[in-house]
Amino acid sequence: MTTTDNTKQSNRDKKQQQLLDAAEKLFSQTGYDGASMSMIAKEASVPKANVLYYFKNKDSLYEAVLDRIVAQWNLGLENITPDDDPAVVLYNYIKSKIKLAIEQPMQSRLFASEIIRGAPYLQGYLRNSARPWIREKSALFQAWIDAGKMNAIDPQHLLFAIWSTTQYYADFEAEVLLVQNKLEYENSDVEKITQSIAQLILTGVGLAIPE
């Protein structure tokens, strides 16, 4: 088409992204029911009716926020084969998860709220994306175990353990910071957390922390 069409399209996209930003922030702070359309509009500095022009109702806005998170949230561990070194792979995975949890806690918290509520909007994602992914990576872990590269453990529970320990620092940030009497995480915290978790998980399956 013409250039004007493209500009219009990108303007529309840009505005939609801004609305999604505001919605993501508020949904993650107070949950689906706690965040009102007028609060979201206020956060985005537009009238409420304008939000409803871009998203036909609250449900579809919430769904769009979740869809964006899930799309960005590449589950990781791509292009890994049984020939790779499990210690290196798991260490890097844990490291990236911790980094994500501390730098993008809102996504993790919104995801958690949604699952706690019984995942009404994420059933499709869990069934069609997460489940096959988990099955695939479980097979990878099992191959490592069968090859004697790491100790036997249920691969699914190993994945759950990695997710839970890393996401904890996003979802329970308020608790962790309050207990440690801090206002926010420091760079040194990221390092310390990574080391502690990597030690537990890796040593836990008989691997040494790489390098």
Partner DNA sequence: AAAGTGTTTGACCTTTCGGTCAATGGCGTT
Partner DNA sequence: AACGCCATTGACCGAAAGGTCAAACACTTT
- The binding site for DNA (CB under 7 A) comprises 2, 4, 8, 11-12, 15, 35-39, 46-50, 52-54, 56-59
The set of residues, in sequence order, having a beta carbon less than 8 Å from that of 39 and lying 6+ positions away, is: 26
- Cα–Cα dist 31/28, whole Å: 6
Choices 1-9, 53-61, 64-72, 151-159 (CB under 8 A): range interacting with a second copy: 151-159
In the complex with DNA, the residue whose CB is nearer, 3 or 79, is 3
In the complex with a second copy, the residue whose CB is nearer, 41 or 122, is 122
- CA separation (Å) from 189 to 47, 148, 168, 169? 40, 33, 14, 10
- Cα–Cα dist 178/30, whole Å: 19
Q: Residue 17 touches which of DNA, a second copy, none (CB < 5 to 8 A by kind)?
A: none
157 touches a second copy by CB under 8 A: yes
69 within 8 A of 111, measured Cβ to Cβ:
yes
Q: Residue 8 touches which of a second copy, DNA, none (CB < 5 to 8 A by kind)?
A: DNA
For the record, the structure tokens of 9 come out as: 């399209």
Q: Residue 211 touches which of DNA, a second copy, none (CB < 5 to 8 A by kind)?
A: none
Taking the mean position of all CA atoms in its chain, how far away is CA 27? Answer: 15
Query: Residue 91 — φ and ψ, nearest 5°?
Result: -60, -50
What are the residues binding a second copy (CB under 8 A)? 29-34, 109, 112-113, 115-119, 123, 126-127, 130-131, 134, 151, 153-154, 156-158, 160-161, 163-165, 167-169, 171-172, 174-176, 178-181, 192-193, 196-197, 199-206
